[in-house]
Structure 1
Amino acid sequence: MTITAAMVKELRESTGAGMMDAKKALTETNGDMEAAVDWLRTKGLATAAKKAGRVAAEGLVGVAVEGGRGVAVEVNSETDFVAKNADFQNLVRSFTATGLKAADIEALKAADMGGKSVADTLTSAIATIGENLTLRRMASVEGDAVAAYVHNAAADGLGKIGVLVAMKGTDNGIGKQLAMHIAATSPLALSEAALDPEVVERERTVQTQKALEENANSAKPKPEAVIQNNIIPGRMQKFLKEVTLLNQPFVMNPDITVEQAAKEAGVEVTGFVRLAVGEGVEKKEEDFAAEVAKVLQG
């Protein structure tokens, strides 16, 4: 497979590795981006295990809470100009409010909104606005109390990142702090039990290979039993602490975990949602001038 400059650039941005290291990683893994990330981490050349993939889609995430239910809805547009448009913002806000009564994204698309389905309303908006629009994702949480937060807010309840936190107990203000924490740290799961087993095994494989290579190159190699019983479990424990919400140091007070902070506030976190605009979507890059020209052409 031909390794392009764009691929090397993408890998560099997602890992912090040097250009030649990124190119070698892609060559060694036949262009497989995720495998290349793991290869770099095994060699100790990647500074972070960020998800490979460029995020380029525009749009907004809307959040709404009613009673003990919260919903987050992502609507994508082709350009950021549209995301700043009042008509588009009202559309996202209406879809989000309708989502409070919908079970999932398909139910939302079929839901009635002023005599037309949400899907038909979106189609009409595409014709009016002149850009392709996509109702991409919807997620919800339920609890005794639900708190919401939007980061990079474009308007009330609309932003580039939308977060919902479900709690057992009465929210005394901790909910918004927890939601802001989630926006900042982007945890993979609520707890270790909720973490995807494949993610855990992938990390274990990386840490095992990394530890073995480090040991092989050490002037004073450690017995394999020490690596398997001490070093790898220790690194996995650190990983789980970093990616599971309840185990993360609370950003408002890093001396305690999120779980401890919630407990001290008299609540228990039972679930969360974090949607970021364009997450995992790859779109052809255009320069600013081309984007303006595209909008003016209609």
Structure 2
Amino acid sequence: MHTAVTVQAVDYPSQSAALHAIRQRVFVHGQGIDPALERDSADAGAVHVLAMAADGQWVGTGRLVIDAAGEHGRIGRMAVLPDWRGQGVGAAMLQWLEQQARQRGVSRLQLHAQLPALALYLRAGWLPCGPEFVEASLPHLPLHKRLDGAMAVGGELAAQAALACIISTTGRQLRLLAPLLDPGLLDAPLVLDSLRALAARRQPVQVQILVDDPTAIVRCGGAALALLQRRPSVFSIRQRSLDHTTSANALAVNDRGYWLQRPSAASPDGQAGLPWRPSTQRVLQAFEQDWSCAADCPELRPLRL
């Protein structure tokens, strides 16, 4: 198993050979992209990152290009050597580049995600902002992320991305209001995989879930319900009292300032802070008031065979 990598900023003039070598191997040789597209005029003024393995080998690279006004940035040229994929290298570089953008006062970020790497960005809180398109002969999806406030969430994929991000960034506590366990959302592969990973952590995690109709949930069944019933030490479920509710009709909030609110559980559209701490306490208080008035759900307890 690979050891952890070190992510660091690099000076482009002195390290251009190293980062272009990675990009050549990944984009030109690995994906068949035209060599003329591997580099461009933005390289000279971009913020570049390289990921280094414990043995000193460079294994990944990426860049941040900031516009002239200093308000918007674009992350791109994200490349990880084949043997190092799936090791968290891309996620580490993405986090570093986002932090650099924040430190430089950038308020909004964009990127074009290759579809095979889409889950990496969605779990990091990047939301779709347009239709799929072809770039350099490969399918991409445009994504964006706001660093200075809440983001509008529109469409099923955006809602799945926001919820997966909230689950993945949870420290020890996650709260969900999902009236019918949100069919099509909680059981979407991106979200369900994030829930499974959260439940499988070694450190203690508490997930509180409010629902409205336990009988209907049992009748529909599904993978999300099965997971919750298998891990009662992690997931606590109560039925919301609709006479005393103060929450939106669907929400998620964790202990690290990430949240999602949707006015209607029947629609994926809403608003999310990924993170946006100024609104976190308001969302959390609404959930906790509903939780204090909620009742146990014997219908959803795991079966004892």
Q: Given the two structures, how large is their TM-score scaled by the length of structure 1?
A: 0.25
Pick the structure with greater CA Rg: 1
Q: Given the two structures, how large is their TM-score scaled by the length of structure 2?
A: 0.24
Pick 1 or 2: higher relative contact order, CA cutoff 8 A, min separation 6: 1
Structure 1 or 2: more strand by fraction: 2
